[in-house]
């Protein structure tokens, strides 16, 4: 389980009747999962990149297709005698979304 703050920027560029969407974020950690609990002085954060297309259906309604890549990185500081020993870890999360969006 992860819980992050999200600090980033999202952009939208019209390309004819559709729009190209893009975003990038740095996500400092608020709450860690079970992996972080096993190590001493764990620090971690994530970066996220996303891109997609938005297609208008009506004046205030559009459909969006998005691809999002999240990379979570950990730094551990083990000491001699610790049960678990590692210098760091990475998680890669790739997801696709199809969204119906109402623009008010």
Asked if residue 34 lies in contact with residue 53, where contact means CB atoms within 8 angstroms, the answer is no
Per-residue pLDDT of the chain (104 residues; tens, 9 = 90+): 778 999 999 999 999 999 999 999 999 988 777 777 778 788 889 999 999 999 999 989 999 999 999 999 888 888 888 888 888 889 899 999 999 999 88
Q: Whole-model pTM above 0.85?
A: no
Question: How far is Cα 36 from Cα 75, in angstroms, rounded to an integer?
Answer: 9
The pLDDT of residue 34: 76
- Which residue, chain included where needed, has tokens 């559709």? 18
Rounded-to-integer distance, Cα 91 and Cα 13, Å: 30
């Amino acid at each position: 389980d992860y819980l992050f703050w999200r600090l980033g920027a999202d952009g939208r560029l019209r390309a004819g009747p559709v729009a190209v969407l893009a975003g990038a974020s740095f996500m400092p950690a608020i709450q860690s999962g079970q992996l972080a609990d096993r190590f001493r002085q764990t620090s971690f954060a994530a970066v996220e990149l996303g891109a997609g297309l938005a297609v208008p259906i009506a004046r205030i309604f559009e459909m969006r297709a998005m691809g999002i890549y999240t990379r979570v990185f950990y730094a551990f500081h083990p000491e001699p005698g610790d049960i678990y020993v590692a210098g760091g870890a990475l998680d890669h999360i790739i997801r696709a979304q199809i969204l119906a969006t109402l623009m008010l």
